[in-house]
Amino acid sequence: MRLLNQIIAVSTINLKSLPQRFLPSLSTIVAVALVVGVLLAFMAMAAGFQRTLQGTGSPDIAILMRDGSQQEVNSVITLDQVRLVGEAPGIVRKPDGSPLISAELYVIVDGVKRSTGTKANLPLRGIGADGPALRPGMTLVAGRMFAPGSNEIIVGQALSKEFAGFDLGQQVRFGTTVWTIVGTFAMEGSVFESEIWGDVRVVQSLFQRGSSFQTIRVRMQDQGALDQIKAFSEGDPRLKLAVTSEQDFFAGQSSGTVKLIQYAGWPLAIAMALGALAGALNTMYSSVAARSREIATLRCIGFGGTSAFIGTLLESLVLAVIGGLIGALAVWLLFDGASTSTLGQGFTQIVFSIALTPALVAQAMVLALGVGLIGGIFPAWRAARLPIAAAYAQG
């Protein structure tokens, strides 16, 4: 109990006297804040990108692509293959018995990024009549659906915000053809919001794709249907298509980019943390030096070394925590929710929102506490071991 009282007393003195060491303490706080800020900015970017891809795609929808193509843009599917897939077991059919199926074309067109004015690859997806029915969660937020057979397109709201020239009612030129934007759609912040949609037959003819497609989407009746469709595709030499659930397909697209951002962010943050640690150690050593007489006096009147140790360590930790919180708050205020885009594995831009999650803040606070702990423990040890006579002899 006595020890606890001593610790509380010393800690209070240390913290209350912080304003006397304002500048050195501030430098530690700022250093830790910047370390945490850099780390969180990178991690929040990675998390936002991952969230967008993982929030895309339904587990009930199957995507069929040419085997080995990996990406929608590479795949080629013939009209005959589309007809064959329509006969597959396990797929949902409409009341008239025909399959709910959308054969789609995925071509890349140029757009201009608003923020930088640079060219960007944007996906123009030609979808079939059943396309919207195979996109649960899709809603038109403005305008209307494109009319079949026309040069009309609808655009995802993320794309419209991020890239210039895709506002409702505007016309865009792809090559020699002019398209009118008649609607804007939302789809729960998914990758689809970074796309342009038109009638697949019009896209086929204006891009000279004949009757070829790139992917087929069908709705599955139940969980076992994926294996049924796979077996069906394997069993027919005319098909041999790769079958995945839409959810798995998009989840598999995030790892490369996310790893790249994380591999850039962590080493940078750790290097900066080492720099901040050097600063924290300096601050705390000088704090101990400045208080050496005070510590010696306390020791003379019966305070133990433990209270000096804990008091100093606590001071360092408090500075680091304040710094960490400021860094996290700054990232939250400056970046959280900000929209940006990068080139996805499908070779087109994916718009995503930077997402600062509590888990990331916790990780960053661990780093901040690490700096505070190591930056405080050695000076605290010195404070605890300070020879009383030497402290008075100084100065």
Partner 1 sequence: MTDFSLVLANLFSHKLRTALMMVAILIAFLIFGFLAGIQNGLDNVGGKAAESRLVTVNKINFTQPMPVAYVNRIRAVAGVDNVSFANWFGGYYQDPRQVIVTFAVDAETYLQIYRDDIAMAPDQRAAFLSTRIGMVAGRKIAERHGWKVGDRIPLSSNIYTNKNTGTQTWDFTLVGIMDPASEEANPDFILFHKEYFNESVTFGRDTAGWIVIETADPAQNGAVADQIDAMFANSPAETSTDTEKAFGQAFLAQLGNITLIITWVVGAAFFTILMIVGNTMAMAVRERTKEIGVMKTLGFPDGRIFRLVLGESLLLSLLGGLPGLGLAALGLSAIREGIGMPGLALAPFWAGVAVLIMLALGFLTGIIPAWNALRLNIVTALGRQ
Nearer to partner 1, 60 or 104 (CB): 104
CB 81 within 8 A of CB 218: no
Pick 163 or 232: Cβ nearer partner 1: 163
Three-state SS at 18: helix
Rounded to the nearest whole angstrom, what is the least distance from the CB of residue 37 to partner 1 in the complex?
7
Told to check if 134 binds partner 1 by CB under 8 A, we report no
Stretch binding partner 1 (CB under 8 A), from 135-143, 162-170, 186-194, 278-286: 278-286
Give min distance, CB of 248 to partner 1, in A.
14
- Smallest gap from Cβ 140 to partner 1, in A, equals 26
DSSP state of 98: -
Tell me: does residue 395 bind partner 1 (CB under 8 A): yes
378, 316 contact by CB (below 8 A): no
CB of 76 to partner 1, least distance (A): 7
Q: Least Å distance between CB 282 and partner 1?
A: 5
H/E element, 104: strand 101-113
Verify binding: residue 255, partner 1, rule CB under 8 A: no
Question: Which two tokens mark 215?
Answer: 């992917």
Q: How far apart are CA 370 and CA 25, in angstroms?
A: 17
Q: Minimal CA–CA distance to 103: which of 200, 192, 216?
A: 216
Annotate 163-218 with DSSP letters as a single string: EET-STT-EEEETTEEEEEEEEEE-TT-GGGG-EEEEHHHHHHHTT-TT-BSEEEE
| Residue located via tokens 């990675």 | 46
Q: Which amino acid is at 52?
A: T
Q: Write phi, then psi, for 119 (nearest 5 degrees).
A: -65, 150
394 in contact with partner 1 (CB under 8 A): no
Q: φ and ψ at 264, to 5 degrees?
A: -80, -40
Residues 286-325 contacting partner 1, CB under 8 A: 286
Using the rule CB under 8 A, is 95 a contact of partner 1?
A: no
Rule CB under 8 A: say whether 271 interacts with partner 1.
Answer: yes
Q: Which is nearer to partner 1, 33 or 225 (CB)?
A: 33
Which of the stretches 4-12, 97-105, 146-154, 338-346 binds partner 1 when contact is defined by CB under 8 A?
A: 338-346
Considering only residues 164 to 193 of the shown chain, the ones binding partner 1 according to CB under 8 A are 174-176
| Binding flags for partner 1, 18-57, as an x/- string (CB under 8 A) | -----xx-xx--xx--xx-xx--x----------------
Can you list the alpha helix ranges (DSSP code H) found in the chain?
2-16, 22-54, 79-85, 157-162, 200-206, 225-235, 246-251, 255-290, 292-300, 305-334, 358-385, 388-393
The correct pick among 19, 68, 97, 302 for binding partner 1 (CB under 8 A) is 68
- Please report how close the Cβ of residue 204 comes to partner 1 at its closest, in angstroms: 13
Helix (H) or strand (E) holding 154: strand 152-156
Positions touching partner 1 (CB under 8 A) are 23-24, 26-27, 30-31, 34-35, 37-38, 41, 66-71, 73-76, 107-110, 115-116, 118-121, 174-176, 207-208, 212, 268, 271-272, 274-276, 278-279, 281-283, 285-286, 340-343, 347, 349, 395
